[in-house]
Amino acid sequence: LLPLDEWKKLWVDNVARSSLGFCNDGDDGKFEYEPFRPALEKIFKMTEAGKRIPTQAKIECVDSLLSTAKNLRCTVGKRMLFLPPGASTDGAWEKITRATADGRLGCSAKIAPCEGQVANVVCCVYVQDCTNKSEVQRVLQTLQNDLGFRIKCGFKPDFYTHLGKYQNNKWRLKPTLYSVAETLSWTTTSDEKKRNFGKGEATSSTSTVSRIDTAMVSSNETTKSDSRYLWDGTSFDAGH
C-alpha cells in the first residue's frame, strides 16, 4: 500500500508487478496522426458533401482506427470520473490511488488539480489496452462494485483524444468507445475463466474476470445499434 501522504500526488502507477493491470511495456507517449488519416478522411468527405454517413461506414472507420492503434501500440485508454470539489474529492482520490498502486485497478490513474475548483474535478483511471475487453470490464466493475463509484461516462482511448474525437466532432462519430452498459454486458465462457483464474495478485472480487476475445467486431457481426459507432449526442465528454 502507499504511505499515507503518497495519495496526494496527481498521478499514480500500478506497482503490483503480478497484477492484471500492471504494465511495464507501455507506449512511448508519441502520437502519429497520419496513419489514422485515411479512415477519417473517408468519413469527412461524406460530411463535407452533406451526405448521411451510413452505419456500415462508421463501423469500418472505427474498426480501422482500432486496428491502426493496435499496430502502433497506442492503445491506452481511460474511464473518466467527475468528482465534486472539496473534501470528498480527496477521499475519492485516496481510494483510487491505493487501488491503482496495489493492482486492483488498471495501469495508472490521474486527477486534475482541484484547489480552488468550483466545478467537478476530472479523474482518469487508465487501462493499458483498450482492445482487451476483459481488462476494461474488470476495472469498471472494481470502480463500481468494490470502490463504490457511480460511473456514467464511456471508455475513451487516448488516441481518440489525440485525434480530436470529442462531442460534435466533424466525423459525427461517438466520442467514446464503450458505454458503461455495453461494458457490463460482456460475458465470458467457463473455459476462458478457467484459463485465467488465479492470474495476478489483484485482491478485487472482480479480478478473476477472464480475458474476453479482443478481436475487432467484423461488419457482419455488428448490428446498427452497436454503441461504439452510433452517437446519440448524450455522451458527456470534457475534452480528455
Quote the cell numbers at residue 149.
463509484
Say if 235 falls within a structural domain. no
Q: Is residue 188 part of a domain?
A: yes
The model's pTM: 0.74
Of 31-35, 89-93, 137-141, 215-219, the range with the highest mean pLDDT is 137-141
For 136, counting Cβ atoms within 10 Å of its Cβ (0-12 exposed, 13-18 middle, 19+ buried), the class is buried
Q: Is-contact 7 97, C-beta < 8 A?
A: yes
Domain coverage including residue 147: 6-221
CA-to-CA distance for 49 and 71, rounded, in angstroms? 31
For range 2-17, the mean pLDDT: 70
Average pLDDT, the chain: 77
Q: How many independent structural domains does the chain possess? A: 1
Average pLDDT rounded to a whole number, residues 192-196:
39
Task: Write 55-59 long-range contacts (CB < 8 A, 24+).
Answer: 55/224, 55/229, 55/230, 56/219, 58/173, 58/229, 58/230, 59/217, 59/219, 59/222, 59/226, 59/229
pLDDT at 117 over 70: no
Q: How confident is the model at residue 36 (pLDDT cuts 50, 70, 90)?
A: very high
- Of all residues in the chain, what percent carry a pLDDT higher than 90? 53
What is the gyration radius of the CA atoms in the chain, in angstroms?
Answer: 18
Tell me, yes or no, whether 226 lies in a domain: no
Share of the chain above pLDDT 70, in %: 70
| CATH classification of the domain holding 149 | 3.30.760
Q: In terms of C-beta density within 10 A (0-12 exposed, 13-18 middle, 19 or more buried), how is residue 94 classed?
A: middle
Identify the pLDDT of residue 168.
84
